[in-house]
Amino acid sequence: MPRVAAIDCGTNSIRLLVAELTIRQNGTVDLRDLHREMRIVRLGQGVDATGRLAPEALERTRAALVGYAAVARREGAEQVRMVATSATRDASNRDEFFAMTREVLGVEAEVITGDEEARLSFTGAVGEQDPGDGPFLVVDVGGGSTELVLGTWDGRQAEVSAARSVDIGCVRITERALRTDPPTDAEVAAARELAAEILAKAYDMVDVARAATWIGVAGTITTLSAVAQELPEYDSGRTHRSRLSRADIDGVAGKLLGVDHETRAANPVIHPGRVDVIGGGAVIVQVLAEQFAERGGPADLVVSEHDILDGIALSLA
């Protein structure tokens, strides 16, 4: 039963999963979590404006990776795979990032395409789903991009039929449109317009009307679920496989966009690193729900704590 370490480095957060792989006689692979961890490093800080990774962002990422490398060694991980997404794809000084990751981890970080990111997220998200609930539409709202992927799951293998990544995420939309605390009505309207325009580019490739179940993954969506449920503290057992209706999404978006930083920071389920950008993430999810309804897509959002990290780990089987 080999042990592997998966690292997902996004625009806003960097996450680690160390897992034990069990390969069954029928060829399916089970993951047993040994360690999961997330740190907010804001690697994409200012990239949208400057085109470069900020020195302080690189240093925050280095510190997180040093800790993750120690955990991977302690847990006996035999293989490590790190994928990096939107912020590093866009940065002119990306070579500094690669040199740092090689030095700390001893392996090359992979800058994956948006389509590969979507495929890995899909594989991680659907593994626990009933195949009869498909086809599945998996959505990952990250810091710099949003991925939509459509496909099926037969209980053993995921088959992706369409995928698209578009350049809008909670950090990007916040930096571009939501500059006031709390944002003004005009800023929220501008953010919604921006999100709608960019997200619309996905539907030429991803026909959401074919989906029977909408699954949302990663920190923005799991946080929205925790806020909507008014949990006293973040509890992945309560967020995993929870459901958000369109009314729930509208309600939580209004709640987050209508209060200031101090009020959001006082909510125990919002990670300190998400306080500034969770309102922007809520706008994106709200617009997605509206656009899916307009196009005959699934209504309720099923929240999953299993995502690209699980897909990365499974890729090492």
DSSP annotation string for the chain = --EEEEEEE-SSEEEEEEEEEEE-TTS-EEEEEEEEEEEE--TTTTHHHHSS--HHHHHHHHHHHHHHHHHHHHTT-SEEEEEE-HHHHH-TTHHHHHHHHHHHHSS--EE--HHHHHHHHHHHHHTTS-GGG-SEEEEEE-SS-EEEEEEEE-SS-EEEEEEEEES--HHHHHHHH--SSSPPHHHHHHHHHHHHHHHGGGTTT--GGG-SEEEEESHHHHHHHHHHTT-SS--HHHHTT-EE-HHHHHHHHHHHHTS-HHHHHT-TTS-GGGTTTHHHHHHHHHHHHHHHHHTT---SEEEES--HHHHHHHHT-
Give the residue from 252, 255, 233 showing the smallest Cα distance to 301.
252
Residue 11, Cα to own-chain centre: how many angstroms? 10
Q: Of 53, 83, 111, which residue constitutes the final position of a domain?
A: 111
pLDDT at 121: 80
Same domain for 65 and 136, yes or no, is no
pLDDT at 170: 93
Same domain for 277 and 154, yes or no, is yes
How are beta strands 213-217 and 13-23 bridged, if at all? unpaired
The tokens of 44 are what? 């994409």
pLDDT at 1: 77
Q: What is the pLDDT of residues 174-190, one digit of tens each?
A: 999 999 999 999 999 99
Question: How many domains does the chain fold into?
Answer: 2
Give the residue from 135, 240, 249, 253 showing the smallest Cα distance to 191.
253
- What's the CA angle centered on 119, arms 118 and 120, to 5 degrees? 95
pLDDT at 261: 95
Residue 198 lies in a domain: yes
Same domain for 50 and 104, yes or no, is yes
Q: What is the pLDDT of residues 35-61, one digit of tens each?
A: 999 898 989 888 878 999 999 999 999
Residue 117 lies in a domain: no
Report CA-CA distances (Å) from 287 to 80, 81, 308: 36, 33, 23
Residue 313 lies in a domain: no
Q: What is the mean pLDDT of residues 285-300?
A: 96
Mean residue pLDDT of the chain comes to 91
pLDDT cut 70: percent of the chain above it: 96
Task: State which amino acid sits at residue 270.
Answer: I
- For residue 81, name the pLDDT band (cuts at 50, 70, 90): very high
Q: How far apart are CA 148 and CA 198, in angstroms?
A: 12
Residue 251 lies in a domain: yes
Q: Inform me whether the pLDDT recorded for 150 exceeds 80.
A: yes
Q: Inform me whether the pLDDT recorded for 308 exceeds 90.
A: no
Residue 123 lies in a domain: no
- The parent domain of residue 198 ranges over 128-304
Higher per-residue confidence, 79 vs 156? 79
Residue 122 lies in a domain: no
pLDDT at 127: 77
pLDDT at 117: 75
Q: Of 67, 85, 111, which residue constitutes the final position of a domain?
A: 111
Q: Inform me whether the pLDDT recorded for 306 exceeds 80.
A: yes
Same domain for 106 and 142, yes or no, is no
Q: What is the mean pLDDT of residues 211-224?
A: 94
Q: How far apart are CA 169 and CA 272, in angstroms?
A: 18
Same domain for 64 and 21, yes or no, is yes
Same domain for 169 and 275, yes or no, is yes
Same domain for 151 and 283, yes or no, is yes
Same domain for 146 and 276, yes or no, is yes
Q: Of 85, 111, 137, which residue constitutes the final position of a domain?
A: 111
Give the residue from 145, 157, 281, 166 showing the smallest Cα distance to 226.
281
Same domain for 75 and 180, yes or no, is no
Same domain for 102 and 138, yes or no, is no
Same domain for 146 and 53, yes or no, is no
Same domain for 16 and 148, yes or no, is no
CATH label of the domain that carries residue 178: 3.30.420.150
